[in-house]
Amino acid sequence: MGLEAALSGALPALFFMWYVDKVDSKRPEPRAVLRKVALFGGLSTLPCIVIELVLDKGFGINPKTVPGAIETSFLSAGLVEESAKAVCLYLAVWRHPAFDERLDGIVYATRAGLGFALVENVGYLLDAKSAGGFIGIYMARAFLAVPGHAIWAGFMGYYAARKRFDNLGPGLFGGLLLGILMHGTYDASLFTMGALPADDKWMVLFLLPIPLVVIVGGYFWLRALGKQALAADDAAEAKAQAAAQQAASVRQVPRGFGFVLR
């Protein structure tokens, strides 16, 4: 397929970026910082490709076998790609003043994941061999893989932010581990279907629902966590406003009544 058609593969990632921004519309993040995180996520695909090739070759992984499909799913794909998103989150925005709320963890982490998914999606579409293959890849990735990259990174961002602001939860590494497990499970179900021997093809019936369960279940779980983060941010903002109003009222007390404050 042509480059122009493949570039249309950026649209699903851009749509989900818009969706996350809409969720964060109450206190939106700086556009420049969001673009920076997405850029870091997109660029991280390049070292990931090299590392994944080295790992597969170094460990002698053959993804055309069932054990190899599982190994490459959790090691090459899950571990490498989710770790890359964690590095992007840390380098691009972790110390930036704009990262000042719990929901920001989800917003920035999903942006890194979607930047990664955008570039990866275009690459897959460039490799499509036919119009039918192009459409199949486009639809499958638009509804599963692209939001999946955002969701897996989103858990990492959420738990990193809750640890940072509230000292709660497993933190960045705990969220990263969850993302790796979800990503690996998603890929393992797909890769294993392609690696099954002819006599075991019936197992596809059990493997086929797994990617959908991972994405849909992950979405609703992350959405619930996002609501918790937003509620905590609203409570913190209300507390800060109340403290500021109290401080302002104290400053407005006439000097003659200063003894009241003693």
DSSP assignment string, 70-138: HHIIIIIIIIHHHHHHHHHHHHHHTTSTT--SHHHHHHHHHHHHHHHHHHHHHHHHHT--SHHHHHHHH
Mean pLDDT, residues 155-173 = 96
* pLDDT tens digits along 2-53: 888 899 999 999 999 999 999 999 999 999 999 999 999 999 999 999 999 9
pLDDT band at 245 (very low <50, low <70, confident <90, very high): confident
Q: Residue 223 pLDDT more than 50?
A: yes
pLDDT in the model for residue 230: 96
pLDDT band at 198 (very low <50, low <70, confident <90, very high): confident
Mean pLDDT, residues 163-185 = 97
pLDDT band at 247 (very low <50, low <70, confident <90, very high): confident
pLDDT in the model for residue 120: 97
On whether the pTM is more than 0.95, the answer is no
Q: Residue 258 pLDDT more than 60?
A: no
CA distance 57 to 191: 17
pLDDT in the model for residue 255: 56
pLDDT band at 262 (very low <50, low <70, confident <90, very high): very low
Residue type, 196: L
Question: So where are the chain's domains?
Answer: 3-252
Q: Residue 233 pLDDT more than 60?
A: yes
Mean pLDDT, residues 132-152 = 96
Mean pLDDT, residues 72-95 = 96
pLDDT band at 243 (very low <50, low <70, confident <90, very high): confident
Mean pLDDT, residues 82-88 = 98
Residues ≥6 apart with Cβ < 8 Å to 116: 41, 42, 44, 45, 48, 81, 84, 85, 88, 149, 153
